[in-house]
Amino acid sequence: MQKNATKKIAVEPANARQVDLMQAVREGGGEPVPVADASALIWGDENLSELTSLLHDGLEWVQLPWAGIEPFIEVLDHKRQWTCGKGVYARPVAEHVLALMLAGLHHLHAYAQERSWAKPAGQNLYGKRVLILGGGGITEELLPMLATMGCESVVLRRSSKPLNGVRCVQPSALHEELAEADIVVLALALTESTRGMIGEQELALMKPDAWLINVARGAHIDTDALVQALQQGNIGGAALDVTDPEPLPDNHPLWTCDNCLITPHVGNTPEVGIRLLSDHVRENTRRYLAGEPLLAPVDVDAGY
């Protein structure tokens, strides 16, 4: 990378996050400049066309705002280093996973809709077998939470090396593990190999009282197959912070499924997210100016 004297950082676009991210750059030792004069760009939006219009040959580093980089796939290149928000939002999303698990298992989603005293229903999380798809930051934060609940966790990821002492299996073991799980959590990147990975066949393998939790991307699940499984009672239920399509239309059949709990992609809220992203940008600014390796590098070829 360039010498420190020529390292200049721009923060775009002009939106509600810009002031906070500019302050993070200053606290990291930089001073925001116009993008035409910059060697690095902190990008705080999903607007691909505007980002594309600002890229120039002098930019050697671009920081993207989210952990999931699907909106930016077509602009990624090997000309510069790209970093993202991997791990930045892991803790609040892991908390949301735990909340969804407890709400689903304890029947809270249904009780919240009652207008009279209802019959007892629900089951404990304690001691359940949890299959987590993905071995990133969310999973690393979630595993200790589940351990305190006495859960037996299994992580499905590309590496079979244990994660924080927890057994890991490779994707080829998905069907075998689905049949044994009480709860299945999706917390992985969306790629062509993971798109639609939970479909009719996979749902049929799950236990009739198992719950499916998705805090990753809606496109990991075949929505039509999920609706059918929920309506027929083939699984215990689903708790979704992400959907396909998203936002979920008002008349979509998922809204009518009594065994489906839907939250509007709020595992990480804007109020929490900007603070966490600012911390990340501050540290990456410091590292960039010091010539140190940056946090959360994007694997351009892998797409995450």
CATH number, position 23: 3.40.50.720
Calculate helix-pair angle for 270-290, 18-27, nearest 10 degrees.
Answer: 30
pLDDT at 88 over 90: yes
Identify the residue whose tokens are 């593990």.
177
Give the list of residues 6+ apart from residue 142 with CB closer than 8 angstroms, or none. Answer: 94, 97, 98, 132, 185, 187
pLDDT the model gives residue 5: 56
Q: Are residues 284 and 257 in the same domain?
A: no
Q: Among the residues of 153-260, which ranges form H helices?
A: 174-178, 200-205, 223-231
Cα–Cα dist 242/248, whole Å:
9
Residues 212 and 195 in one domain: yes
Structural domain contains residue 137? yes
For the cut 60, the answer to whether the pLDDT of residue 209 exceeds it is: yes
d(CA 241, CA 217): 9
Inside any domain, residue 239? yes
The reply to whether 301 falls in a domain is: no
Residue carrying structure tokens 């993971």: 194
265 catalytic? Reply is yes
Percent of the chain past pLDDT 90, that is, above it, reads 95
Confidence of residue 1 (pLDDT cuts 50, 70, 90): low
Q: Is residue 281 part of a domain?
A: yes
Give residue 188's identity as a one-letter amino acid code: L
Q: Exposed, middle or buried: residue 58 (CB in 10 Å: 0-12, 13-18, 19+)?
A: middle
Instruction: Tally the domains of the chain.
Output: 2
Whether 172 has a pLDDT exceeding 80, the answer reads yes
Mean pLDDT of all residues belonging to the chain: 96
Q: Torsion angle, CA of 220/225/227/229, rounded to 10 degrees?
A: -110
| 56 to 42, 61, 62, 80, 252: CA distances (angstroms) | 14, 11, 11, 10, 43
- Looking at the fold, whether 53 and 199 belong to one and the same domain comes out as no
Listed in order, strand segments (DSSP E) in the chain are 9-12, 40-43, 61-63, 81-83, 129-133, 152-156, 168-169, 183-186, 211-214, 237-240, 260-262
Q: In terms of domains, do 78 and 62 share one?
A: yes
In a domain, 81, yes or no: yes
Lowest average pLDDT, out of 80-84, 92-96, 267-271, goes to 267-271
Residue 158's contacts (CB-CB under 8 Å, 6 or more residues apart) are: 135, 170, 171
pLDDT of residue 4: 56
Question: Which is catalytic among the residues 27, 152, 246, 283?
Answer: 246
- Are both 22 and 47 inside the same structural domain? yes
Residues 115 and 203 in one domain: yes
DSSP letter for each residue of 96-146: HHHHHHHHHHTTHHHHTT-SSPPPP-----TT-EEEEE--SHHHHHHHHHH
**Residue 299 falls within a domain, yes or no?**
no
What's the CA dihedral at 247, 77, 49, 8 to 10 degrees? 110
Which of 217, 220, 280, 282 does the annotation list as catalytic?
A: 217
Residues 136 and 74 in one domain: no
Same domain, 25 and 125: no
Let me know whether 118 and 240 are in one domain: yes
Segments forming the whole domain that contains residue 106: 90-262
How much of the chain exceeds pLDDT 70, in percent? 98
**Catalytic: 158?**
no
Same domain, 148 and 213: yes
- Residue 296: inside a domain: no
Question: Is the predicted pLDDT of residue 82 greater than 90, yes or no?
Answer: yes
The pLDDT of residue 93 is above 90: yes
Identify the weakest region by mean pLDDT among 1-10, 104-113, 282-291: 1-10
Co-location of 108 and 236 in the same domain? yes
- Identify whether residues 254 and 286 lie together within a single domain: no
> Is residue 180 scored above 60 in pLDDT?
yes
Angle formed by the axes of helices 90-105 and 137-148, to 10°? 50
Q: In 10 A of CB 146, how many CB atoms? A: 23
**Per-residue pLDDT reduced to its tens digit, 237-265:** 999 999 999 999 999 999 999 999 999 99
Residue 106 is among the residues annotated as catalytic for this protein: no
- pTM exceeding 0.75: yes
- The pair of three-digit structure tokens given for residue 7, joined into one six-digit string: 């390292």
Catalytic site residue from 265, 283, 286, 287:
265
Specify if 304 maps to a domain: no
Tens digit of each residue's pLDDT (9 = 90 or more) over 66-80: 998 999 999 999 999
